[in-house]
Structures are given as C-alpha cells and as structure tokens.
Amino acid sequence: MILIVGLGNPGKKFEKTRHNLGFRVVDEIAANFQFSPALSQKGGVQSIFNVKISKGEIANKKIILAKPQTFMNLSGKAVKKLISNIQNLTSKLWIIHDDIDIPLGEIRIVKNRSSAGHKGVESIIRELKTKDFVRFRVSVKPKTSNLKPETLDRFVLQKFTREEEKILKKIIKKTIEIINFSLKSGIEKTMQKFNK
C-alpha cells in the first residue's frame, strides 16, 4: 500500500491558492481513478486523524490518498497518525506539494531531501524524525517572477492568474502521469526519466 498525501490548507478561501496545489492534484487523482469517496466532497473526513482520505487502486497497487486538515504548517501531525497504521512506514509515503524554487510548469521527484523551507514538509520531517520519503515537487513560481524571501508567505496564499490556470491543468495532468509511471516502474526510474 502507498500513502499519497497532498499538502494544502482546508477551507474555501484557500481552495485555488498556490499553496493548495497538492490538494488539487490528489483531488484529480481521486477523480481520474474513481477513488471513493471523493476527496473534494464533505465525505471522507476521518476525525481521528484530522484528514480527508480516499482509497482505491492504481497500477494494481492499493493506494490511500490523503489531504491533512491541520493547515499546512501542522501537516506532519496528521501524516504521523496515518503512517503509524501502515507497515514499512516512510518507504511507502509519497508527498505532493507546491514548490517555489522551480519555474511554473516543471516537476521534480526527490527522496531523502531537506524541506528547502517548505513549512508543510518541515512539519512532516519534524514529526516523523526522518526525511526519507518521496516528494513530488510541483512548481508554482511564475517564470518572470523575482520573489523576495519576505514576500513568500503572502505569495503562496495568492490565487493563480487566468493564464497560469491554463498551464496548471497541464501540470496536474503531467503530475498524475508521473505518479502512475512511478507506481508501475519505481521511483528511481521515474527520477531518471522526468527530473531535468
């Protein structure tokens, strides 16, 4: 079984923000592969773990999709509770999250890497006491943007522009293709094939 966690913030006002890209990707996975219940609906909330979950199969592998409802900076608390119920722990944990260090339209697959300042990933590393899990870093950074460190927190809570939304549809589709490939061929082959 693989636990795929999309990171984001709960609540309607955060739905279309850059920081919620992880949520959007797992919603699309759930819809594309007919997981039940749908993560975007009110169902699927597990109050014990403070997370929305959905179960299904991709490439003949059992998958749990999850969206922590703890807010981004406390994502690790929900992930820790979920992972404690899965054998082999972090070797079966995949995280999908937004990334501002690579240009919009690009995706990186990494394993056993530091958070690079991402607060949700930081929280997971802190709670699990390891960084040895897989991450799908999906870019939210405009290609023409010169972001300053002091403006990053505000930037990731902004919504995508209309033009960016068009690019985003392609990014989400590509991310799902990469995850599907990963489940069929393994993470090492995926990194070799898709990381630039």
Instruction: Cite the active site residues.
Output: 19
Q: How far apart are CA 163 and CA 104, in angstroms?
A: 11
For tokens 């709670």, name the residue: 127
Q: How far apart are CA 174 and CA 108, in angstroms?
A: 11
Going from the C-alpha of 73 to that of each of 1, 59, 105, 126, the distances in angstroms are: 26, 32, 25, 11
Buried b (16+ CB within 10 A) or exposed e, 134-154: bbbbbbbbbeeeeeeeeeeee
